[in-house]
């Protein structure tokens, strides 16, 4: 396959040579026709010569076309190989990379290894190097330890000369391995985690172009592997923070809810059973919502479920909750636990000794940004209290081990960290509060609607 492709690519060179010969021959024929008076032949020769010259000019322009096609193919190959290792050095992904590069380079075989085993091998002598077989060659071990690209030849020039009269199949049967190659490191955060190897049947097939191509693909793959590792670490960090947030949310009303249910068992058993079912469902959803994004409607549903227990504890006349969500926003993906903790803070810190605490949840848009506001008419905060709260949830303030889990600022900081991580710069929390008037907490999810459309 590789030989056939290279034949067609080199065909333009032969066409150019033939056209040059044709122009020279037709020129000689034209001169002979003029000198002998064969005017009809002279006209025919001149027409053919013009056609040949035009064809020659077009052919001389072919290198630019060949370069363009080659560049396009290389970029396409690079793009596809990066997609194959999006999940790291998996055997399936590595085999796809090797197959792609084997078809698109002059190498007789392409292989990828980790630090100990062959992950994939495609090309000549493929049965000799199955996935999982140990790394054997000294060149590979040297690159794994040194982290720099190396070329190698496994046989001496004299042996190569002896083998030169054989065809490729005979040569491979004779030596049972590919005698030359390029070994490039695959590096992540400065550490060599594997190599990619390009094998050749002859050391003279390795030139500066082949080495540059090999190093270029190795660097591209290393970059993608580094991005995959960062993505994995980010996912793990996000999941850990969600778990930490779950741990923070749970103790706040756990014992109060259990005590409320226990009291209702004596006074209102049907209501106690209903609350117990809701309680089990609430915690099941809490544990399930570790996904990075959930529909906004699901976050609102969990918030309402939380309020069921606060209604049971304080009474329906003490808390009133309303929602105003613009059409089409219910299915916009948002991080879990960004509304419920804010509502919980309002219940715990904004309620007066008497009267009803009104909590209103609004969702609207500003361009592609999603704006979510939680407003209450509770006790509010002074400017000094609001300043202390801002310092608690500021991302510029180091997170301290002794931060109290029940702290309002800690909950807001968790929410802010996750919306910034998920939606990037421009995402933030804004708080407006006045004593005896209430508090409004607004979340801005930068580009959330654009993310939903993609």
Question: Which CATH number covers residue 123?
Answer: 3.30.450.40
Q: Confirm if 427 and 420 have CB atoms less than 8 A apart.
A: yes
Do the domain assignments include residue 295? Answer: yes
- Judged against a pLDDT cut of 50, whether residue 78 lies above it is answered with yes
Question: What was the pLDDT predicted at 298?
Answer: 92
Can you tell me the mean pLDDT for 158-187? 63
Do the domain assignments include residue 223? Answer: no
Q: Confirm if 336 and 300 have CB atoms less than 8 A apart.
A: no
Higher pLDDT, 44 or 309: 309
Which range is least confidently modeled, 219-233, 324-338, 342-356, 381-395?
219-233
Q: Which long-range contacts (CB under 8 A, 24 or more apart) does 58-65 make?
A: 59/12, 59/15, 59/16, 59/19, 60/16, 62/12, 62/16, 63/12
Report residue 128's pLDDT band, with 50, 70 and 90 as the boundaries. confident
- Same domain (yes/no): 236, 198: no
Report residue 113's pLDDT band, with 50, 70 and 90 as the boundaries. very high
Can you tell me the mean pLDDT for 19-48? 56
Q: Is 25 helix (H, G, I), strand (E, B) or coil?
A: helix
Question: What was the pLDDT predicted at 86?
Answer: 74
Query: Which of 30, 60, 90 is the C-terminal boundary of a domain?
Result: 60
- Same domain (yes/no): 279, 195: no
Q: Confirm if 203 and 196 have CB atoms less than 8 A apart.
A: no
Report residue 73's pLDDT band, with 50, 70 and 90 as the boundaries. low
From residue 66, give the alpha-carbon distance in Å to each of 55, 81, 165, 241: 16, 22, 32, 53
User: What percent of the chain has pLDDT above 70?
Assistant: 66
Question: What was the pLDDT predicted at 263?
Answer: 83
Q: What domain range includes position 432?
A: 230-453
- Same domain (yes/no): 131, 260: no
Residues forming a β-bridge with 182: 151, 198
- Same domain (yes/no): 13, 36: yes
- Judged against a pLDDT cut of 90, whether residue 172 lies above it is answered with no
Beta strands in 206-332, from DSSP E residues, in sequence order: 294-295, 319-325
Report residue 322's pLDDT band, with 50, 70 and 90 as the boundaries. very high
Question: What was the pLDDT predicted at 90?
Answer: 87
- Same domain (yes/no): 273, 327: yes
Phi, psi angles (nearest 5°) of residue 46:
-65, -40
Q: How many CB atoms lie within 10 A of CB 148?
A: 11
Do the domain assignments include residue 79? Answer: yes
Q: Confirm if 179 and 203 have CB atoms less than 8 A apart.
A: yes
Give the CATH number of the domain where residue 324 resides.
3.30.565.10
Q: Is 98 helix (H, G, I), strand (E, B) or coil?
A: helix
- Residue 451 CA to residue 335 CA, distance in Å, equals 12
Query: Which of 40, 60, 80 is the C-terminal boundary of a domain?
Result: 60
- Judged against a pLDDT cut of 50, whether residue 61 lies above it is answered with no
Phi, psi angles (nearest 5°) of residue 85:
-110, 25
Can you tell me the mean pLDDT for 37-56? 53
167 burial via Cβ count (<10 Å: 0-12, 13-18, 19+): exposed
Do the domain assignments include residue 225? Answer: no
Which range is least confidently modeled, 114-123, 160-169, 435-444?
160-169
Report residue 436's pLDDT band, with 50, 70 and 90 as the boundaries. very high
Strand ordering across the sheet containing 109-113: 118-123, 109-113, 191-200, 180-188, 150-153
Render pLDDT for 364-395 as a digit per residue (tens, 0 to 9).
999 999 999 999 999 999 998 888 887 766 54
Which range is least confidently modeled, 287-291, 371-375, 439-443?
287-291
- Same domain (yes/no): 102, 16: no
- Residue 295 CA to residue 335 CA, distance in Å, equals 8
Chain mean pLDDT for the chain: 76
Question: What was the pLDDT predicted at 365?
Answer: 95
- Same domain (yes/no): 170, 238: no
- Same domain (yes/no): 160, 255: no
- Judged against a pLDDT cut of 60, whether residue 205 lies above it is answered with yes
- Same domain (yes/no): 241, 292: yes
Do the domain assignments include residue 221? Answer: no
- Same domain (yes/no): 250, 388: yes
- Residue 301 CA to residue 360 CA, distance in Å, equals 14
Do the domain assignments include residue 88? Answer: yes
From residue 9, give the alpha-carbon distance in Å to each of 62, 67, 68, 69: 11, 10, 12, 10
- Judged against a pLDDT cut of 60, whether residue 187 lies above it is answered with yes
Residues forming a β-bridge with 122: 110
Phi, psi angles (nearest 5°) of residue 184:
-120, 140
Do the domain assignments include residue 214? Answer: no
Please state the domain count of the chain: 3
- Same domain (yes/no): 48, 82: no
- Same domain (yes/no): 264, 141: no
- Judged against a pLDDT cut of 60, whether residue 404 lies above it is answered with no
Do the domain assignments include residue 170? Answer: yes
């Amino acid at each position: 396959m590789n030989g056939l492709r290279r034949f067609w690519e080199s065909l333009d060179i032969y066409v150019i040579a033939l056209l040059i010969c044709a122009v020279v021959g037709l020129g000689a024929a034209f001169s002979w026709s003029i000198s002998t008076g064969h005017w009809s032949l002279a006209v025919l020769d001149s027409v053919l010569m013009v056609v040949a010259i035009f064809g020659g000019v077009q052919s001389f322009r072919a290198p630019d076309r060949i370069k363009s096609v080659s560049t396009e193919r290389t970029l396409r190959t690079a793009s596809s190989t990066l997609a194959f290792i999006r999940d790291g050095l998996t055997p399936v992904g590595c085999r796809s990379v090797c197959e792609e590069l084997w078809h698109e380079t002059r190498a007789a075989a392409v292989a990828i290894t980790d630090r100990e085993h062959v992950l994939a091998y495609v090309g000549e002598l493929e049965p000799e190097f199955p996935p999982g077989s140990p790394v054997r060659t000294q060149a590979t071990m040297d690159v794994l330890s040194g982290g720099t690209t190396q070329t190698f030849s496994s046989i001496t020039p004299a042996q190569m000369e002896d083998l030169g009269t054989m065809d490729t199949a005979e040569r491979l049967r004779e030596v049972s391995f590919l005698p030359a190659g390029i070994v490039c490191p695959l590096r992540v955060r400065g550490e060599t985690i594997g190599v990619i190897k390009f094998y050749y049947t002859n050391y003279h097939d390795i030139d500066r172009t082949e080495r540059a191509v090999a190093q270029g693909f190795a660097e591209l793959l290393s970059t993608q592997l580094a991005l995959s590792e960062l993505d994995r670490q980010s996912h793990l960090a996000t999941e850990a923070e969600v778990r930490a947030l779950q741990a923070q949310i749970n103790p706040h009303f756990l014992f109060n809810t259990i005590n409320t249910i226990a009291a209702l068992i004596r006074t209102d058993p049907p209501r106690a059973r209903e609350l117990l079912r809701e309680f089990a469902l609430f915690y099941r959803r809490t544990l399930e919502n570790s996904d990075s994004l959930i529909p906004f409607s699901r976050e609102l549903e969990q918030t309402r479920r939380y309020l069921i227990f606060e209604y049971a504890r304080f009474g329906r006349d003490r808390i009133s909750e309303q929602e105003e969500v613009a059409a089409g926003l219910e299915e916009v993906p948002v991080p879990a636990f960004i509304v419920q903790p804010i509502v919980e803070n309002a219940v715990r810190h904004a309620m007066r000794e008497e009267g009803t605490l009104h909590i209103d949840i609004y969702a609207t848009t500003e361009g592609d940004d999603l704006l979510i506001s939680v407003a209450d008419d509770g006790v509010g905060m002074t400017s000094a209290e609001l300043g202390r709260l801002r310092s608690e949830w500021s991302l510029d303030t180091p997170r301290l081990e002794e931060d109290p889990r029940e702290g309002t600022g800690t909950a807001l900081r968790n929410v802010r960290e996750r919306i910034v991580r998920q939606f990037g710069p421009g995402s933030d929390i804004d708080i407006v509060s006045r004593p005896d008037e209430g508090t409004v907490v607004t979340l801005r999810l930068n580009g959330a609607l654009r993310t939903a459309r993609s």
